[in-house]
Structure 1
């Protein structure tokens, strides 16, 4: 009796052929799925950064023939007192804006998540509302608040018996820098309020119920339960806020443009004005400042990770 023959492919291994085909299809799918994102990363992130490194070695205004100057831009940058003044302003913002945003957002989120207010949903919308506005709108709104003639701040002070006249808060060196902090805090609280409130809502209610039965106060529950369990979210938020403080300058550009007399200048705005501001354009020098800012951001990220490592809590 003749034996039935089985079709043999790929050197007599039909199962291996099927596995190889499946593996090829998986690789093709991964390649097709990641190529757009990877291509976008190369085109819009990696290539501009490499180009910035190249520009930082040039003396170039964008029009004339570029001149290779090596590390001279970096030497000039470290000798530029305006760079260090702008960086100092960034440091002041770093130690004020992120802590204020996180503190206010945490308190609001904790209250909204653990207390049943009558107009709870309305409060949530009001707290998140500033985040809906653009940075330009927020800056223009606060510029009106600080206006010396028609400003709401001066009018409010007069109502409580403090008459400061037509004092321009953004026009005086003593107050301009500190006046730029409230707009940044007000514009950032809404977003992190939502983040923290969602994080708090994932904590099991049984933990709070057990703490209440043991007589724990709201403060104890906040510091012994809430904060330890959402610490990873707080750490990521702190990283984003600190990096945003160092990179961002849009609100300063609109409110003061670094004035008066550079008293509100920040490193990002100083870099922008060197590249695109009025007067002499120096893309090489601006690129050197950008590389310096990149190193600062990387070091800040590493320091935050080091200080907050292995402090997560679990339930």
Structure 2
């Protein structure tokens, strides 16, 4: 149905007009789509890399160090996934606030006076500031996944490595990561596709601003279909199909670059 809708000039309410491929022709020339796509690329490079790396390190520490508070740490890390996207966004909006935000207050402790600088209101910092809540909100789930994957690795492999004098980082990159590579691959796919599709945090914190510096394809499509100023449901559907092609392409690239391999313990 979305393919059919993408061939219409339609506001979602009144009678539709069939326009063929006109929406796609306009999409190719629409510089707002290109700008949003560039922002998507920034996010799919930064967010998955940071999310997976931080999750791996935290999971490795919790799985291989006998901290008595381990059970508590697992709950704390997963807590971010219990919170709704709206709550996470509102929480970080207070942190980034220029007048009473926690971030500016923290920097002032080190003698850095930001002069009420609003991190989400500046085109130079807004896109990078949004990366932090995206990573923060996703790390907890993957920590739990990686802990379970690491827990399935036979302890004898770690004991043998310790007898050989292997260091913790050598064990991590020489034993742990190779043996859970398929789990890491699935998590990378989830984070990349989720980042490409997601726009909720961006919509709540900046709605694509300032001056479109944080707009992404999903948010642009949503605002075209359901925004206050425009109701171009047909054109939004064409952008949706464009996003679908990007998602499939991203999955195929991941399969090519990071293929699934059989792992035996």
- Taking structure 1 as the reference length, what is the TM-score of the superposition? 0.83
Does 2:248 match 1:291?
no
Partner of 2:120, secondary structure, is: coil
2:126 maps to which of 158, 165, 176: 176
Q: Hey, what does 1:206 align to over in structure 2? A: 156
CA contact (8 A) 1:249 1:266 kept: yes
Q: Hey, what does 1:237 align to over in structure 2? A: 187
Partner of 1:173, secondary structure, is: coil
Shift of 1:228: 0.6
Partner of 1:220, secondary structure, is: helix
Q: How does 1:177-192 map to 2 (within 5 A)?
A: 177-192=127-142
CA RMSD of aligned residues (A): 0.9
CA distance in 1, matches of 2:204, 2:34: 22
Shift of 1:303: 1.0
Partner of 2:89, secondary structure, is: helix
Q: Hey, what does 1:156 align to over in structure 2? A: 106
Shift of 1:63: 2.4
CA contact (8 A) 2:96 2:103 kept: yes
Which 5+ residue runs of structure 1 have no aligned equivalent?
1-50
Runs of 4+ in 1 over 2 A off after TM superposition: 310-313
CA contact (8 A) 1:271 1:286 kept: yes
Which 5+ residue runs of structure 2 have no aligned equivalent?
none
Q: Hey, what does 1:262 align to over in structure 2? A: 212
1:154-198: CA deviations, max 9, x gaps?
Answer: 111111110011111111111111110000000000000000000
CA distance in 2, matches of 1:76, 1:225: 51
Does 2:160 match 1:193?
no
Q: Hey, what does 1:223 align to over in structure 2? A: 173
Q: How does 1:128-143 map to 2 (within 5 A)?
A: 128-143=78-93
CA contact (8 A) 1:229 1:312 kept: no
Shift of 1:310: 4.9
Q: How does 1:79-94 map to 2 (within 5 A)?
A: 79-94=29-44
1:75-106: CA deviations, max 9, x gaps?
Answer: 10010000010000000000000010000000
Q: Hey, what does 2:16 align to over in structure 1? A: 66
Select the structure with the greater relative contact order (CA < 8 A; seq sep ≥ 6).
2
Q: Hey, what does 2:232 align to over in structure 1? A: 282
Q: Hey, what does 1:78 align to over in structure 2? A: 28
Shift of 1:62: 1.7
- Taking structure 2 as the reference length, what is the TM-score of the superposition? 0.98
CA contact (8 A) 2:223 2:230 kept: no
Partner of 1:148, secondary structure, is: coil
CA distance in 1, matches of 2:107, 2:257: 42
CA contact (8 A) 2:182 2:260 kept: no
Partner of 1:92, secondary structure, is: helix
Q: Hey, what does 2:96 align to over in structure 1? A: 146
CA distance in 2, matches of 1:309, 1:185: 24
Determine which structure has more spread, i.e. the larger CA radius of gyration.
1
Q: Hey, what does 2:221 align to over in structure 1? A: 271
Q: How does 1:18-29 map to 2 (within 5 A)?
A: none
CA distance in 1, matches of 2:260, 2:223: 41
